[in-house]
Copies of this chain bind each other. A is one copy, B any other.
Amino acid sequence: MLKGNMVIGQSGGPTAVINQSLVGAILAAREAVGIEKILGARHGLKGIMNEDFIDLNSQTLKQLEAVAQTPAAGLGSVRLKPGKTECERVFEVFKKHNVRYFFYIGGNDSAETAHIIAEMAQQENYALCTMHIPKTIDNDLKVTDHCPGFASAARFVALAFMGDDRDNAALSGVKINVVMGRHAGFLTAASALARQAPGDGPHLIYLPERVFDIARFQQDVRDAVATHGRCVIAVSEGIADAEGNPIASTGERDSHGNIQLSGTGALGDTLAAHVKAAFSGEAIRVRADTFGYLQRSFPATVSEIDRREAREVGAFAVKHAVNTGKSAAIAIRRIANAPYQSEYFDTALSTVAREATEMDDQYINDAGNDVTEAWLAYVRPLVGDLPEIGRL
């Protein structure tokens, strides 16, 4: 059995339940025979390179449970793709601290980081078990049925649309809500859960999986207003034209080459202007909100299933590592929907690293402006029961 110390880090955009995975892993590691010191890397890879560690053996259970309930990465996060120099420094630190277990909680970029480090360990003949623990509100990891963090963000989006659709019904007009999701529309598609009766919004849903055509969008909105007297629209921040250019962006990029889409109202305002142009001459109230970072960090909308799975996936990763000593990524398999049941399994790091997935064609309607029943069947159990809308 591999014996030594462990490092755990969090990477990429935080979620409402990423600390559940952290605490699940810490508690399992405290029970594990092969693991001695549990070191938390502050701000992921950056903390490893700077030897900026928190001792995670000494926290009280009460303290850890409070952390688990708190959104966003308790250890701090980072967006950093390691090059050769960074990896060499990581190994220097790992050797110095006799680190034999490395757990990285994150999305596909973080899985790539884990994969690079695992490969380098093999090349250097350094015995290291590297585990990727899945996390992303985008729900775009390969292999797994869904990703911890997604269901809570989806719950926020569904509740937000539920309330906002009532608001729009009270003071009619066109309302555009921009939802996070760079390449995958899962989170935007969760807005459909807000519907409880015919005529409820969102009336149109635009996903990055389909080309966004401004003229078609304008016609869709005119049609919806003709039918409902109003229109609530869910649109992914990642929508792009036929050439793949974002409809609006600031041009800023991170070290993974991702362009900045969130943290600006530019897309919403651009689309609002297109809607106003489509109704030129007619009095119409057009508003745009960009949900922004609240989607991934709101404390009061955690899905119960998400909370439980995020915890369990962290614990499962530690048990798998200690039992097999083999590097891997952890994934979720759905077993049943009613009642919901799932299990965890391991998959090669290479299968989830770098490339992300997107929504299945079966989840998107033919017109490319809505979701299907199959999508609702997929997402509803994850998000859990929602409040009933009362009507006069």
In the bound complex, CA of A298 to CA of B155 (Å): 12
In-complex Cβ contact of A390 among B54, B63, B298, B300 (8 A): B63
Q: When each residue 136-167 of chain A gets 1 if its CB lies under 8 Å from chain B and 0 otherwise, what string results?
A: 00000000000000000000000110111011
- Indicate whether A10 reaches chain B with its CB closer than 8 angstroms: yes
Q: When each residue 56-85 of chain A gets 1 if its CB lies under 8 Å from chain B and 0 otherwise, what string results?
A: 100100011111111111111111000000
Query: Total interface residues on A, using CB and 8 Å?
Result: 67
Copies of this chain present in the complex amount to 2
In the bound complex, CA of A69 to CA of B166 (Å): 12
Q: Please give the distance in Å from A294's CB to the nearest CB on chain B.
A: 5
- Indicate whether A124 reaches chain B with its CB closer than 8 angstroms: no
Q: Please give the distance in Å from A304's CB to the nearest CB on chain B.
A: 13
Residues of B near A336 (CB, < 8 A) are none
Contact between B392 and A56, CB atoms less than 8 A apart = yes
- Binding-face segment, A11-19, A127-135, A206-214, A354-362: A11-19
Q: Knowing A68-B390, A70-B389 are in contact, say whether A266-B264 is a contact too (CB < 8 A).
A: no
In the bound complex, CA of A78 to CA of B172 (Å): 9
In the bound complex, CA of A205 to CA of B67 (Å): 27
- Indicate whether A291 reaches chain B with its CB closer than 8 angstroms: yes
In-complex Cβ contact of A72 among B163, B291, B296 (8 A): B163
Contact between A272 and B264, CB atoms less than 8 A apart = yes
- Indicate whether A381 reaches chain B with its CB closer than 8 angstroms: no
Contact between A163 and B390, CB atoms less than 8 A apart = no
30 A-B pairs whose Cβ atoms sit less than 8 Å apart in the complex: A14-B166, A16-B163, A59-B392, A63-B390, A64-B390, A66-B390, A67-B391, A69-B387, A69-B388, A69-B390, A73-B171, A74-B170, A74-B390, A76-B171, A77-B171, A159-B298, A159-B300, A160-B294, A160-B298, A164-B294, A263-B272, A263-B288, A263-B289, A264-B265, A264-B268, A264-B269, A265-B288, A289-B294, A294-B294, A300-B300
